[in-house]
Structure 1
Amino acid sequence: MSDLSALALDASDAAQWRAFFERGQTFAVPLDRPRARRRARVNTAVLVIAATVIAVCVAILAALALTQSGRALTFLLSALLGAAAAALLLRFWLARRRVRAAVASADEYVAVSAEGMRVAGAVQLRWAQVVGGVGFDDRAAHIPLARRPAEALSRAAGVARAELVLGVRGVRELRDAAPRPLRGAFEVIFDHGGVRIPLDTAVEPDAVRPLLAAVCVAAAMSGVEVTLTNEPTEIARRTMAVLGPPPARG
């Protein structure tokens, strides 16, 4: 059963997708290359600024420690600013890997069929390789006014608000066989992990939901569960589940 309710779709929509794939057709979504490149440029600028702030904070703390001057509040504020910049650097660095992989994609970003998926024009995934997945699209979620500038910067710098995460068996071998520029899309933890496919940073806005629906239905036809949800706790739980050690196949 394919639950598309998170996309405001119902059983009749799922039936249409099943009929589409049963006819042997493939649903392909092209890369919006200018969009991906814009995200990459903003991401680079943010990383440079964050790295500069960290360097300045470290220099200030070192100077204060060596001269034993300054008040405790100065130490605290410098340390907090440096920590915030470091957290920002980590967040945008992780996003950068995926944005750069999107920029390096072929013109066909994702293709979905009853047999599996093709990602970035080069990475072939059969449904038998996929442990499970989770997809979300929270672009329309309410954002408190105070957080809107930060969220706008995050989106501009390539932090995905719509993404597909798939756990994959043999992910290390799959990653090593992929072209080097595309390896940033893989998340490998020891011998397990999967692929993270950012959507809103790499495809036209109107293509995001059809792509998520297509993946959910095509996977379900092969007995693979891809959960669609916009609940943050469920996204986190499901992501950890599919990227963790896969269950033994019976």
Structure 2
Amino acid sequence: MTTLEETIKEAYAQIPPLVQEALRRVDLRKQFDAIREKHRLHLDQAGVLENETVYAMLGLRELEGYEETLTKGLGLTADQVRALLTDVNERIFLPIQEAMRKVPETQAGAVAPASLPSAAPAPEEEPLEKARILAEIENPEKLLPPPKPAFAPASTQTTLAPVTPPKPEQSVPIPAPIPAVSPSRPFSFSPAGTKTLEAAVPVSSYATIYEQKLTEPTKTVRQEAKFTIRRSSIDPYREPPE
């Protein structure tokens, strides 16, 4: 017997007698074969489905990751896995639930195997145990642990860190506006705190220069271009040597 088979046997011995009797009344092998033929699963895919379903029933796998594990193990799409889970619920889990309701209380307490612990529940507590198991199967989300809080404050008192006021920004000196250029003094520039620079040439001298350029004749120096014709020493009709 392998380690996995021993683990399954030990987990089966730990479940309540009511669940053991319900599992005996449901032909799991027949239901798994019907699901495999309907969805055309390969032998390895059918083995993954059977193992993960048995692990979930015995509590060896958490129900929260049951669908995700089947999606990765079977290599099917999300829609195919949902259709497969619908058949598993209708052919396996619901018949087990109905079988648990039909098991008599006296028979459920008499099928306890010898490997169970000696501290078995008293007969008067069996109806409560049966009701609890039925409630867990009908509402599997109650078996999941409550979600952890996003943060856990160390104490109810909150200590605020001292707030440092921002430093005042240093004032930037604004330069004085540039005065408009006067027509009579075109190159004059006198901002605050600077010396005045004036044009060295008066305005009237510019008009005299323009008049001289327009009235005086323009002198152009004429240069003769010299061209030399060089004759080629190669005969164009001569074939080049091979």
Structure with higher RCO (Cα < 8 A, 6+ apart): 1
Which structure: larger Rg?
Answer: 2
TM-score relative to the length of structure 2: 0.22
TM-score relative to the length of structure 1: 0.22
